[in-house]
Amino acid sequence: MFDLVIPLIIGVIAGYLLRNRKHINLNKIVFGTILLLIFSLGFTIGSNNELLNSLPKVGFNALVLCLSAVTFSVLFVKVAKRIAGF
């Protein structure tokens, strides 16, 4: 947990201290880092047989969770609109 929180806090402090300086465009660096993280995640999944074998079950559970969230969100909005009179 602290492995993630400490760099975040250091980044916030650095951004706060350097906020009045000329802005540096980090879009390409951030995009490259995200691609590297996605690649390493895919590599880890592909090299782990146990995880690879459980993907269909995990995928099905994720699909059910996603569809449930969308369905109940739409239903809630419809009920809320009907109650509010929109």
Distance CA 3, CA 67 (A): 33
Report yes or no: 33 and 41 within 8 Å, Cβ to Cβ. no
Q: Is the pTM of this model over 0.75?
A: no
Type of residue found at 49? N
Give the residue extent of every domain in the chain.
1-47, 53-86
pLDDT value, residue 18: 86
pLDDT value, residue 30: 92
pLDDT by 10-residue block (mean), the chain, 86 residues:
88 89 84 95 90 87 96 96 86
Report yes or no: 57 and 63 within 8 Å, Cβ to Cβ. no
pLDDT value, residue 79: 94
Report yes or no: 65 and 59 within 8 Å, Cβ to Cβ. no
pLDDT value, residue 63: 95
Q: Please choose, from the candidates 51, 33, 31, the residue with its C-alpha nearest in 3D space to the C-alpha of residue 42.
A: 51
